Copies of this chain bind each other. A is one copy, B any other.
Amino acid sequence: MSGAAMARCHGLLEPALREAVSVLHPWGARMAAFALGWSDTDGGPSAGDGGKGVRPAITMLSAEAVGGTAESALPGAVAVELVHAFSLAHDDIIDRDELRRHRAALWKAYGVGPALLTGDALLALAVTQLAGRPEAMPYLSAALIELVQGQTADMAFENRPWRGPDAVTIDEYAEMAAGKTGGLLGAATAAGVALGGAPELADRMWAVGRDLGIAFQIVDDMLGIWGDPRLTGKPVHSDLRRDKKTLPVLAALASGGPAARELAAVLASGTGDEESVRHAAHLVEEAGGRERARALADRYLSSALGVLDACLPDAAELRALCHSLVDRVN
């Protein structure tokens, strides 16, 4: 994907995002700046990378793809980035994740209560961006519902067994991923075209974003097992260590071969120590979990690109950005 397009979008986004956050109480603004990767806990400039800003770029490129300007989609771009930051702040509390983007998670830096409240503030600012825009607001609110549904399903998966009739199916996984990650990408694409002047394309572009989101989440799961912690900013194998129902593991177990059976036994006896976690990761790969995950991510990406090409045949930059989301290493 063109780095120039990303840089252009980022250049438009950041001042708008900073203006949105500036209305907050000074203490709230400071925590929001930390959450958005702009500053460290002392308020000084951050050493972190501040996130990649792919969702707002998708919004702006979607607007341009229907003949609108990137500026026309700015309220939507700001909104999706704020919702993304909100969801990270709350997810890290829920999952007790202590690291985010190579530094302390918001709740680790400021405490659970302040982090929770900062998440709420980011969400309130997001909603405010589109409150008077009925052509785009329903997609944002739909994404919020999907987010909590996906997160609830993900949490409920933790109490489900790895094998047997109550095990999580690949279809259930896809539905969870569509909610947790797809909804907001759906809002990014749909709000983009709606604000860019083509609200009649918004429902179909919502579907593009949702499929893209499932692919994105599968890649996230893969990076959680085989990603380089120096690039991802997260501890290696943390999902495996916490028995999270991720796609590569579900796909490996579903393969039914000897490696799958051994993996099931390892998971059943617990992945407490480093050695068993490493062994489990190896078995997931041996049972074909990595390959199947990659294939499924590619299938969802193809589905998204198919609809995108039908809606917007000349959206080269947007298309390239979609591709890069599934080919990323962090």
Given contacts A124-B148, A149-B25, contact A113 B93 (CB under 8 A): yes
**Per-residue 0/1 for A121-162: is the Cβ within 8 Å of any B Cβ (1 yes, 0 no)?**
101110110011110011011101101110111011000000
Given contacts A125-B145, A141-B128, contact A90 B114 (CB under 8 A): no
B24 contacts A149, C-beta separation under 8 Å: yes
Q: How far is the CA of A14 from the CA of B165 in the complex (A)?
A: 37
A191 smallest CB distance to B (angstroms): 12
Q: Is A23 an interface residue (CB 8 A)?
A: yes
Closest 6 CB pairs of A and B: A124-B144, A94-B113, A131-B141, A121-B148, A25-B152, A128-B141
Q: Is A16 an interface residue (CB 8 A)?
A: no
A31 smallest CB distance to B (angstroms): 9
Q: How far is the CA of A266 from the CA of B140 in the complex (A)?
A: 50
Q: Is A78 an interface residue (CB 8 A)?
A: no
Q: How far is the CA of A128 from the CA of B148 in the complex (A)?
A: 13
A155 contacts B94, C-beta separation under 8 Å: no
Q: How far is the CA of A39 from the CA of B64 in the complex (A)?
A: 49
Q: Is A28 an interface residue (CB 8 A)?
A: yes
- In the complex, which residues of chain B have a beta carbon less than 8 angstroms from the beta carbon of A109? none
- In the complex, which residues of chain B have a beta carbon less than 8 angstroms from the beta carbon of A93? 112-113, 116
For chain A, the bracket of interface size reads 35 or more
Q: How far is the CA of A24 from the CA of B156 in the complex (A)?
A: 13
Best-buried of A112, A142, A144, A148 by chain B (most CB within 10 Å): A148
Contacting residue for A138 out of B120, B132, B145, CB 8 A: B132
A155 contacts B113, C-beta separation under 8 Å: yes
B145 contacts A124, C-beta separation under 8 Å: yes
A79 smallest CB distance to B (angstroms): 11
Q: How far is the CA of A29 from the CA of B132 in the complex (A)?
A: 29
Q: Is A315 an interface residue (CB 8 A)?
A: no
Contacting B at CB under 8 A, from A97-123, are 112-114, 116-117, 120-121, 123
Known contacts A24-B148, A95-B113, A123-B123, then 14 further A-B pairs from the complex at CB < 8 Å, ordered by chain A residue: A25-B156, A27-B152, A28-B149, A90-B117, A117-B152, A117-B155, A120-B144, A121-B148, A131-B141, A131-B142, A132-B134, A133-B134, A134-B134, A134-B137
B94 contacts A152, C-beta separation under 8 Å: no
- In the complex, which residues of chain B have a beta carbon less than 8 angstroms from the beta carbon of A156? 25, 27
A196 smallest CB distance to B (angstroms): 18
A169 smallest CB distance to B (angstroms): 16
Q: How far is the CA of A123 from the CA of B123 in the complex (A)?
A: 9
A128 contacts B151, C-beta separation under 8 Å: no
B131 contacts A148, C-beta separation under 8 Å: no
Would you give 28 A-B contacts (Cβ < 8 Å), ordered by A?
Answer: A23-B145, A24-B149, A25-B153, A28-B152, A90-B120, A93-B113, A94-B113, A94-B114, A94-B117, A113-B155, A114-B155, A116-B116, A117-B148, A117-B155, A120-B123, A120-B144, A121-B152, A124-B141, A124-B147, A125-B145, A127-B141, A127-B144, A128-B142, A131-B134, A132-B137, A132-B138, A134-B137, A137-B137
